[in-house]
Amino acid sequence: MNALADELTAHRFFARMDAAHLEVLTGCGRNVVIRAGTSIIREGEPADSFWAIRAGRVALGVTVPGREMPTLGTLHAGDVLGWAWLFPPYRWHFDADALDDVHAVVFDAVCLRGKCEADPALGFDLAKRVAGVLGERLHAARIRLLDLYGPSDGG
Partner 1 sequence: MGLPMAAEVQARAPLTPVTHRVVGRRDETADVVTLLLEATDGSRLRYSAGQFNMLYAYAVGEVAISISANPVDDGPIAHTVRNVGTVSRALCGLHPGDSLGLRGPFGSDWGLDSAAGGDLVIVAGGIGLAPLRSVITQVISQRQRFGDVEIVIGTRTPEELAFKDEVSAWRERDDLSVHVTVDRATPGWRGTVGVVTTVLPRIHCDPAGVALICGPEVMMRFTALALLERGMQAAKIRVSMERNMQCAVAQCGHCQLGSVFVCADGPVLTWERVEPLLSVRQL
Partner 2 sequence: MAVASGTTMTLDVEGLDALIANLRGRGYTVIAPSVRDGSIGYEAVTSAAQLPRGVGDEQGPAHYRLRDRGDDARFGFATAPASWKRHLYPPATTLWRAHRDREGMLVFEETQAPPPRYAFLGVRACELAAILIQDRVFATSAHPDPTYAARRRDLFIIAVQCGSPSGVCFCTSMGTGPRSTEGFDLALTELLDSAEPSYVVEIGTPAGQEVMAGIAAQTATDRDRAAATAVTDQASKRMGREMDTRDLPALLHRNLEHPRWGDVAARCLSCGNCTNACPTCFCSDDIELEAADGESTSRVREWASCFSREFSYIHGGTVRQTTRSRYRQWMTHKLGTWWEQFGTSGCVGCGRCIAWCPVGIDITEEAAAIRATDGTRADAKR
Residues interacting with partner 1, by CB under 8 A?
12, 57, 59-60, 68-74, 76-78, 99, 136, 139-140, 143-144, 146-155
Q: Which of these segments, 76-84, 103-111, 123-131, 146-154, binds partner 2 (CB under 8 A)?
A: 146-154
Q: What single-letter amino acid sits at 143? A: I
| Largest distance between two CA atoms of the chain | 53
Q: What sign has the CA pseudo-torsion 17, 89, 115, 55?
A: negative
Binding of partner 2 by 145 (CB under 8 A): no
Q: Does 155 bind partner 2 (CB under 8 A)?
A: yes
From the number of C-beta atoms within 10 Å of its C-beta (0-12, 13-18, 19+), residue 95 rates as buried
Closest contact distance (angstroms) between CB of 143 and partner 2 is 16
Give exposure, 105-123, as e/b (b: 16+ Cβ within 10 Å). Answer: bbbbbebbbebbeeeeebb
Assess 153 for contact with partner 2 (CB under 8 A): yes
Minimum Å gap between C-beta 102 and partner 1 is 14
Cβ proximity to partner 1: between 28 and 81 the closer is: 81
Q: Shortest Cβ distance from residue 7 to partner 1 (Å)? A: 17
Q: How far, in Å, CA of 59 to CA of 115, rounded?
A: 29
Residues that bind partner 2 (CB under 8 A): 152-155
